[in-house]
Structure 1
């Protein structure tokens, strides 16, 4: 097992999740060291959230291998869940708009004190346990960059009255109270302005720099991607793969792990039953297809097949997410 005291190393090879109606994603390759910032980029319905849930032990994989902190998936899913935390995941780990910031924090600290520690810790004097809980909450708020005093009603501010970036920071702070080795954040940049997006990525970079491995789903990777391990879900069809790609499933150059000095690769082929689906493409590679051989010359049956592939991708991801929400 990985003995690193803080962040968890994350690796995957040919990793995939399949739902009743098809693949949510597959052919994901990833290598990131402890304390890395991993950005998962892709269009909606391409399996981004499913990948996040699978790598944190909340969803069972159907293909390939993966390890988090030296714990193999899916064999050690329960152990992986114990060292990871989710933030801002709709339907799985989300804020209650009716509760206040203080109520969320107190509830999370209570759960951490009751279930996150040892029996010996529960037997300590009450004032010691309360002081420790307060220190955990204060540390998590500081790391997430959320100052309750700056909110309209302070700690009594309702979640429904928070700005989007403030809500994201609160969700991250709640996840950090448990001291995870891997923090997984969904919809990191959803409906954020450019300045808010920069603030969100600055927060996540800071967490990674402090030693926590961060896995963040996004529509756009952070500007100045130095040190970011980029994984892409979704892409071109298998038929568009460059010649010579092994097995018809080309890998996408996903990014560089600056710490380990390795390239991380990822691709998806989400069509069921071996049909061609979405595959990654090498970043920077141009298409050999000329305008004369593009959409104008496509067979109508091929166009219909493309549409079915996209539907299968989204249906597979939706099925897998529904199963995760019920578990």
Structure 2
């Protein structure tokens, strides 16, 4: 399943899953997820808040351990290669995991991520290069990421010295995406992609995510409603009954006829069923702590403070 990925890791990661599920203390967070998406796909995880969509996002990026089924990200099997999946994936904004610090400025966020990238990523040969050369390479990565995210620092109220608390919601989303793209991941995961956005800004947010996917990076995006032309995994409304019986899989979702390049056929993506309202903090809490805090290098996928 990973044969379609570029051998040098420069291409997006293919995403496949079969009967993928996670059970938390209060029941199933999600289950019966099946998907097959080519590298460079834009995949929407659609559903109401509390339906397990964020947990599914974290599980597919190697940050939560699934209970049943299996998945492969870029040919790396889950849950066996969770650490490796974390290394090829990056998180945009995820509440409680990779949030922006409202007290820091845009420049401080970019500088912090650049320092993490220089310190933890790269070969020994890269680390032995002159400091000025490494700094220039980092600056180039930051500029590249800002351009890909469509964030114009000069257009911000105080330029790069603008505090995160003063950013509009769409600007904050662009910053989070830029920070994630500095590491040049093969898979980008974004939570609440359409949260608190006007219709105009929502369209701009999806335009941004499509452009990232079209450039070759596979994108997973949690949303309340997926736009037309997007491959969707749908999560069901949650219940709070811990003794609720296992829910049957929902009908297969359908991809719009004008789906983006790399979108999966309509009969290959199945909906998920959630039977309890579980957050990342209390769904399979032990394995969540074990996997999100394992390895200093994994901080590159988050903010460095997760």
Tell me the TM-score normalized by structure 2.
Answer: 0.84
Q: Give the match for residue 270 of structure 2.
A: 266
* Larger helix share, 1 or 2: 1
Structure 1 pair 163/261, CA: closer, same or farther in 2 (3 Å)?
closer
- 1:236 and 1:165 map into 2 onto residues whose CA distance is 28
Q: Give the match for residue 150 of structure 1.
A: 155
Q: Deviations over 1:48-88 (max 9, x none)?
A: 00000000000000011111001110010011000000011
Structure 1 pair 230/162, CA: closer, same or farther in 2 (3 Å)?
same
- 1:73 and 1:108 map into 2 onto residues whose CA distance is 27
- 1:206 and 1:38 map into 2 onto residues whose CA distance is 13
Q: Deviations over 1:180-235 (max 9, x none)?
A: 0000000001000011101100000000000000000001112xx22x21110115
1:120 deviation in Å?
1.1
Which protein, 1 or 2, shows the higher relative CO under an 8 Å CA cutoff with sep ≥ 6? 2
- 1:208 and 1:261 map into 2 onto residues whose CA distance is 14
* Larger strand share, 1 or 2: 1
- 1:8 and 1:22 map into 2 onto residues whose CA distance is 30
Asked if residue 234 in structure 1 is aligned to residue 236 in structure 2, the reply is yes
Q: Is the 8 A contact 2:238 2:274 kept in 1?
A: no
Structure 1 unaligned runs (5+)? 238-246, 272-312
1:98 deviation in Å?
0.6
Tell me the TM-score normalized by structure 1.
Answer: 0.79
Structure 2 unaligned runs (5+)? 240-246, 294-306
- 1:191 and 1:260 map into 2 onto residues whose CA distance is 26
1:253 deviation in Å?
1.9
Instruction: Report the structure number with the largest CA radius of gyration.
Output: 1
SS of the aligned residue for 1:107 comes to helix
Q: How many pairs were matched up?
A: 274
Give 2:125's match in structure 1, choosing from 111, 115, 120. 120
Asked if residue 176 in structure 1 is aligned to residue 175 in structure 2, the reply is no
Asked if residue 319 in structure 1 is aligned to residue 294 in structure 2, the reply is no
SS of the aligned residue for 1:27 comes to strand
Q: Give the match for residue 30 of structure 2.
A: 25
Q: Is the 8 A contact 1:40 1:230 kept in 2?
A: yes
Q: Give the match for residue 209 of structure 1.
A: 214
Q: Give the match for residue 140 of structure 1.
A: 145
Q: Is the 8 A contact 2:12 2:40 kept in 1?
A: yes
For the aligned residues, what is the CA RMSD? Answer: 2.1
